[in-house]
Amino acid sequence: MRPPNWLKKYIPDHKSLENASVLPILKRRLRHPALWHLNRVSVARGVAIGLFAAMIPVLPFQTLLAIILAILLQANLPIAVVFSWVNNPFTILPLVYLTYYLGNKVLDANGAAITVHEVAWDFTSLSGFWSSFSAWFFQFGKAFFVGLPIAAFGAALAGYVIVTLLWQGGVYLKQMWKKAGRKFR
């Protein structure tokens, strides 16, 4: 299955990568064809890497993590970057809550409801801030950091499987259309 023509014009070619002003080490790594080709494996890897990186709650580092992992695992780089933006200022609260909820369910086998106690933040001094932060961390942090790898790996696995199934389904439908077209000629 070939990518649509409108998508090809946004993917850089070898000449534009040669002229890019990046570090020489990165320039050599960025030339790898798997980072730019649109095939089932590289796109599925890119989606999985992007969704994995999206679960990191610190927004600027998600894209950087997606770029590094895409280069190391030879996944489609633009797809990985775009899917790392699933977690953005509009979606971060539901995703953080989901991560906390998953961690809370794993830690509390009895299934008790999530209890949220208000943390009084003290921004008047550095020691007051760290005291408030440690109170918040001990209240929410354990469940959040247990749920974080579950949500990250779960999103990555779901993304990889969905892309693979959709891609194979598209190939199958295209073959069926070709067969049906031959019958009516």
Residue 113: other Cβ atoms inside 10 A: 7
Residue-wise pLDDT for 63-118, tens only, equals 889 989 999 998 999 999 999 999 888 888 899 889 989 998 888 755 555 555 56
pLDDT at site 69: 93
Question: If you compute the radius of gyration of the chain from its CA atoms, what whole number of angstroms results?
Answer: 22
Q: Which has more confidence, 141 or 15?
A: 141
pLDDT at site 135: 76
Long-range CB contact pairs, 105-113, < 8 A, 24+:
106/143, 106/146, 106/147, 106/150, 107/142, 107/143, 107/146
Phi, psi of 20 (to 5 degrees): -70, 145
Local confidence band at 153 (pLDDT 50, 70, 90 cut-offs)? very high
Is the Cα torsion angle 174, 180, 183, 185 positive or negative in sign?
Answer: negative
The pTM for the full model equals 0.74
